[in-house]
Amino acid sequence: MAEIDAMAVWRRTNLPEPRWNRVVHDRSGNYIGKPDAYFEEVELAWEIDSYDFHFAKEQYANTLDRNARYAAAGIAVVQTLPGRLRSEPRLVAAEITAAYLAAAARLEVRRERHA
């Protein structure tokens, strides 16, 4: 259900369609994660993280490990609680859009430094 709600929120944005529920690997082929949505062109992962599946002790540790892998690979991540997809869709859409634009700007700066 959260994925359907996430797609509805994404449709409120003018962003390109992300890769939904696809495994992401680093440049060496190592597993990073399987974000709910991944905007590959700007290296932005969107995770819909519920209390039920991410905040018990072991699950929380797994979530932190996942986020560390994203960070190590240079991937920005936005985490959203599922309930916000319905209670605050406009705000979540604005957050995703802002994160996308920030990720795009970050990549542009990185490209300029390496040019």
Choice between 58 and 42, residue whose per-residue pLDDT is larger: 42
Residue 93, pLDDT score: 98
pLDDT, mean over the chain = 92
Per-position DSSP letters for 4-64, written without gaps between them: HHHHHHHHTS-PPPPEES--EE-TTS-EEE--SEEEGGGTEEEEE--HHHH-SHHHHHHHH
DSSP state of 88: S
- Using the predicted structure, report yes or no on whether residue 65 has a pLDDT greater than 80: yes
Residue 113, pLDDT score: 84
Strand partners, 46: 37, 78
Residue 54, pLDDT score: 47
Residue 56, pLDDT score: 59
